[in-house]
């Protein structure tokens, strides 16, 4: 592991300075700063060592919350709800549209627990079981922001905006 990364993690841990229940915050911050928005194994092992929290416990936490990722994610991330309400209101079409507009790596089809990223690491698409916002179906989440009653047209607009954002 690179010294610079270790230093960065040390800094994040220090900024939380042992506050109770700080592990979640620390991990979130580390993932955010990762260029591919995920938590590599070595990073987690190092975080465990530095926080004194056993590695298995850290792993338990990371796998419990869906906003942590153990595999590289694209620059942008779209989560599509495949719950019953959203399915009835056409969330499938949104997924199909994304599949037809981008070239994903390792896409074996299907849509339960989907987690696919484009070859150029531009976009990650995943499915979730239900956002708990069924009244707004179909619901998607784009880079952490929830959109309701999304149509394919609207999705196109969102994608265009992402392209322009160049963050």
The binding site for another protein (CB under 8 A) comprises 1, 41-42, 44-46, 48-49, 54-60, 63-64, 70
131, 52, 123, 35: which is closest to 87 by C-alpha? 131
Q: CB of residue 15 vs another protein: minimum separation in angstroms? A: 20
Q: Which does 25 bind (CB under 5 to 8 A by kind): ligand FES, another protein, none?
A: none
Residues facing residue 124 across a β-bridge: 77, 117
Helix (H, G, I), strand (E, B) or coil at 95: helix
Q: CB of residue 116 vs ligand FES: minimum separation in angstroms? A: 19
Q: Which does 139 bind (CB under 5 to 8 A by kind): ligand FES, another protein, none?
A: ligand FES
Q: Which does 64 bind (CB under 5 to 8 A by kind): another protein, ligand FES, none?
A: another protein
Q: Which is nearer to ligand FES, 94 or 116 (CB)?
A: 94
Contact predicate 44/55, CB 8 Å: yes
Structure tokens at 106: 């390792």
Q: Which is nearer to ligand FES, 48 or 130 (CB)?
A: 130
Q: How far is CA 154 from CA 9, 17, 89, in A?
A: 39, 43, 14
Structure tokens at 152: 């394919």
List of E strands, 49-167: 76-81, 104-105, 115-118, 123-128, 140-142, 145-147
Contact predicate 13/50, CB 8 Å: yes
Q: CB of residue 46 vs another protein: minimum separation in angstroms? A: 4
Q: Which is nearer to ligand FES, 96 or 105 (CB)?
A: 96
What is the contact surface with ligand FES in residues (CB under 6 A)?
81, 83-86, 130-134, 137, 139
């Amino acid at each position: 592991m690179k010294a610079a990364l270790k230093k960065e993690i040390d800094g994040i841990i220090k900024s939380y300075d042992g506050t109770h229940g700080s592990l979640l915050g620390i991990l979130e911050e580390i993932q955010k700063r990762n260029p591919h928005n995920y938590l590599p194994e070595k990073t987690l092992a190092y975080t465990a060592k530095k926080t004194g929290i056993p590695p298995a416990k850290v792993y338990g936490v990371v796998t419990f919350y869906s906003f942590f990722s153990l595999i590289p994610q694209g620059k942008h991330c779209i989560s599509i709800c495949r719950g019953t309400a959203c399915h009835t209101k056409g969330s499938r079409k949104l997924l199909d549209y994304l599949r037809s507009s981008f070239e994903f790596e390792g896409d074996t089809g299907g849509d339960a627990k989907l987690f696919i990223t484009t070859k150029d690491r531009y976009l990650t698409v995943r499915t979730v079981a239900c956002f708990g916002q069924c009244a707004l179906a179909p619901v998607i989440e784009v880079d952490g922001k929830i959109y309701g009653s999304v149509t394919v047209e609207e999705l196109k607009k969102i994608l265009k905006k992402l392209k322009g954002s160049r963050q």
